[in-house]
Amino acid sequence: MASVGKSLLLFLCLVSSIVFVTPDDIPDDWPPKDEKFKYEAEGLYAEDFDLEIGKGLKTFERNLDDVFTCRLSYEIPKGETEEWRVTMSQSPDLTAYSCIIERPGPTNSELNFKQFKMSLIGVNEINYGEAYGEPSVSLPAEEYMVDKRKMEVTSLPGQFKGHVSRLFAVALMHHPHEEL
């Protein structure tokens, strides 16, 4: 009987410590509608951004660790603004960087791009690059190219059909070898 009393007392103490939040307690501006997702940690950076619509080439770029820069140059003549995400990371051994620029979430991009180019700056070689029409389906090889010399994943003029939802590249850093 004593253990039931102790259990009941513990239960009442727990219930009395619970803070109930009513809709009146939540500020009208929460969660903030104008704040975009952004995350930074050592060797990792992610941020949501809006693609600009309108004639002419637009550019978005971000930097990781003052060494690696991922730049997206694109042209979208018309359409509705979409939120996209850039995610950059560095390998633990500091020998590689990756960049993903994509339309996050379950929906594909509805935008009709005229052209795109993802450039990797501060690295020596693109090891792998890919462009996707849908998040998990690569664009046909004739619509884009990976230029390892220029360190770019870019649409091919006259071949690109205007739809892209994700760009991905992995780049290698070459560190000078020391003679023994």
Does residue 138 contact residue 145 with C-beta atoms inside 8 Å? no
8 A C-beta contact, residue 51 and residue 111: yes
* Residue 13 belongs to some domain of the structure: no
What is the rounded distance in angstroms from the CA atom of residue 144 to the CA atom of residue 157? 9
The answer to whether residue 102 sits within a structural domain is yes
Answer whether residue 164 is part of any domain: yes
* Domain presence at residue 87: yes
- If one counts the domains in the chain, the total is 1
Closest CA to 58 of 69, 46, 66, 50: 50
> What is the span of the domain harbouring residue 104?
28-172
The verdict on residue 35 lying in a domain is yes
Residue 180's pLDDT is 52
Dihedral sign from CA coordinates of 123, 125, 127, 130: positive
141, 53, 120, 44 alpha-carbon torsion, rounded to 10°: -110
Phi/psi at 70 (5° precision): -115, 125
Q: What share of the chain is helix, strand, coil (3-state, %, to 5)?
A: 10, 45, 45
Distance of alpha carbon 175 from alpha carbon 124, whole angstroms: 9
- Determine whether 47 is exposed, middle or buried from the number of CB atoms within 10 Å of its CB (0-12, 13-18, 19+): middle
Is 107 within a domain?
A: yes
pLDDT in tens, the chain (180 residues): 454 444 443 333 333 333 333 445 555 554 456 688 999 999 999 999 999 999 899 999 999 988 899 999 999 999 999 999 999 999 999 899 999 999 988 778 899 999 999 999 999 989 999 999 988 899 999 999 999 989 999 999 999 999 999 999 999 986 554 555
Give the CATH number, domain containing residue 88. Answer: 2.60.220
Asked whether residue 124 is assigned to any structural domain, the reply reads: yes
**In-domain check, residue 149:** yes
Q: What pLDDT is stored for residue 133 in this prediction?
A: 93
